[in-house]
Structure 1
Amino acid sequence: MPGSWAEQLPRVRRLGAQDWQLLKNVRLEMLADTPMAYVESLAAARRQTDSQWQERAAAMTGEGSITLVADSGEDGSRFCGLMRVVVKDPQDRARPLQAMLISVYVSPEHRGLGLADELLSSACKAGADELAAQYLELGVHEDNSRAQAFYRRHGFETTGASRPYPQDTAKRELVMERHLP
């Protein structure tokens, strides 16, 4: 008999530069699944060479950036979730250090099962502990009430700020923020 769901959750870990092929696969999946959620197009991502994917993975593991992935399968041969935390404007010392949550994704078969909660909790902890960020900011589409509720459940609040949504400037992207302990 299988163990509890917690024992079956994919393993959350840091992206490594050597994970470039898995990163490529999940990024293409992300863009195909939810094209309006990301600034990059699926066609542009498909045009990248293996060398470009290797450089991208290396950059996503560099200073001021933490990329968390959830790998599924016994051998970790597939990423089924990803969240990235990057320092926002590290030169601006006039205000507390902020980080941004970007590239949020959980594959359809893992949605609603707790993986997004685990990834976000890990992202908040890493932002505070490893990047020394005091606040974590994100942008969410004004019509995505499900995502807004998810982030509110994790302590994020709308700031009152918004900006044009990159893929449809007739829509707005709401800015949400959470204080990191």
Structure 2
Amino acid sequence: MSAIIRRVRTEEWERVKAIRLDSLRDPVANIAFLDTYENAAAQPDEFWQGRTEGAAEGDSVRQIVAEAEGGRWLGSITVLVEQPGGAGVLGGDVIEVPQTHLVGFYVRPEARGTGLAHELIRAGQEWSWSLTEPRIERVRLFVHEDNVRAQAMYLRAGFKHSGVSVPVPGDEMHREIELAVLRG
């Protein structure tokens, strides 16, 4: 599937909101995202504008989209920079090395199985490795223990099990498993 992979633009906040809400309507959203449709839909426009501005212009976060001919967004991934000594996004670990964390990853159903997911992941990794301050040593993500399809896709993309897992926030019965790629 042909798509342009690029960083979001500040003025695209409504499209950022729309793809996020679509992702939260996905049948596996309950194990793929740590948010709900209801919570995200209740956020004011200012929330989405600020979130998009940071992802479009900031140095510590980047949102990347896959845009099909005609302008439809087929997928999105967000990359967060994590500095040593800080707490991880899920709060269950302490950051030991400069790294990035892939979050909010979504590919629309019609684009799944086309290689687009790997293109988005590759774009997130390339941006991560391009950073010089800090120099990123690893790229990581967390995946719900029951999301076997996503785990398999990440492993095919070159991620490895790190041995780290943390409880799912608000659900101590389940775990989020860390997968990572080290700088080559």
TM-score calculated relative to the size of structure 1: 0.86
Mapping of 1:7-22 within 5 angstroms? 9-22=2-15
How far the C-alpha of 1:143 sits from its partner, in A, is: 1.8
1:61-72 residue pairs with structure 2 within 5 A?
61=56, 62-72=58-68
2:121 aligned partner = 120
State the superposition RMSD in angstroms. 1.9
Report the Cα offset of residue 68 of structure 1. 0.6
Q: Distance in 2 between matches of 1:10 and 1:124?
A: 18
Q: Give the letter for the 1:19 counterpart.
A: E
Matching of residue 159 in structure 1 with residue 162 in structure 2: yes
1:15: how far off? 0.9
CA distance in 2, matches of 1:173, 1:95: 19
Structure 2 CA distance for aligned equivalents of residues 144 and 20 of structure 1: 29
Identify the range of structure 1 (167-176 vs 83-92) with the bigger mean alpha-carbon deviation. 83-92
* Structure 1 residue corresponding to 2:75, chosen from 60, 70, 81: 81
Aligned residues: 171
Whether 1:134 aligns to 2:137 is yes
Unaligned stretches of 5+ residues in structure 2: 87-94
Which region of structure 1 is more displaced relative to structure 2, 11-20 or 145-154? 145-154
**TM, length-normalised to structure 2:** 0.85
* Runs (5+) with no aligned partner, structure 1: none
Q: Deviations over 1:96-146 (max 9, x none)?
A: 311111111000010001100111111111111136311001101112222
**Partner AA of 2:122 in structure 1:** S
Larger radius of gyration: 1
Aligned equivalent of 1:149: 152
> Alignment partner of 2:16: what SS?
helix
CA contact (8 A) 2:84 2:96 kept: no
Cα distance, 1:35–1:147 mapped onto 2, change above 3 Å: closer
Off by >3 Å, runs of 4+ in structure 1 = none
Pair 95,41 (structure 1): closer, same or farther in 2 beyond 3 Å: closer
- Give the aligned residue type for 2:113: G
Aligned to 1:100: 101
